Amino acid sequence: MSIEAKKIGKTVGDPAVRILTDISLNIDDGDFVSLTGKSGSGKSTLLYILSSLDSPSDGQVFIEQLDLHKMDPVDLYKFRNQKMGFVFQFNYLIAELTALENVLMPTLKIYKKNEINPYAESLLEKFGLKDRVHRFPRQLSGGEQQRVAIARALVMQPKYLFADEPTGSLDSVNGGVVMEILRNVNREQRTTIILVTHDQDFASYANKNIRLVDGKIE
């Protein structure tokens, strides 16, 4: 298995409010997993803990048998950069950079921009953005901006892709385009994808579904 969570719990605030309780799960290489549930069910919190962007109050998360939350911060940063991609509801593109420059952002800290540039261009072309490569975010539609964000998440060819409501700010047509891209990435590249969504139609793109109710797996 690629990702293993053991008895994950999460509390926040003082007095403590419990968000997650006793979450244990296994995700295999190449899985496409959807995390669903009502607003406030804890699905985004679970995603952030699985991806190491947040820490659990209880339990452990292992990826490739590494206990993420006990790793040295420098090693964890390298692991994220080399093996993880992230897509969020809001694209967080840098307004002053072109589409291509935004996609290449993860490569700057490893000094491989020139080496990866052709792959970045090929991703944008594959996502229907060949003629948008040198445009700025303000010159792109919402759906186009989100496709640029997905290309940015994939440019390092990560083994794991974590997506938090990536269609949440899109209309149904553009949302469908984004989901088709994710499904193709999963099938063609065997990228393990963990997707948070409230849309049952989009959740059906995954081969596994984990539904949360009040911070517990249903």
Domain boundaries of the chain, sorted by first residue: 30-55+71-217
Rounded Cα distance, 218 and 209, in Å: 11
* CA proximity to 133, closest of 142, 146, 124, 143: 124
The reported pLDDT for the residue numbered 27 is 96
For residues 13-35, one letter each, b for 16 or more C-beta atoms within 10 angstroms of the residue's C-beta and e for the rest, the string is eeeeebbbbebebebeeebbbbb
pLDDT in tens, 48-61: 999 999 999 999 99
The reported pLDDT for the residue numbered 38 is 92
What is the band of 115 on the pLDDT scale with cuts at 50, 70, 90? confident
- What predicted TM-score, i.e. pTM, was given to this entire model? 0.92
Element (H, E) at 136: none
Q: Are 138 and 95 in contact (CB under 8 A)?
A: yes
Rounded Cα distance, 194 and 202, in Å: 12
Q: Does position 14 have pLDDT exceeding 70, yes or no?
A: yes
The one-character DSSP state at 61 is E
Superfamily classification of domain 30-55+71-217: P-loop containing nucleotide triphosphate hydrolases (3.40.50.300)
The residue-averaged pLDDT of 57-73 equals 92
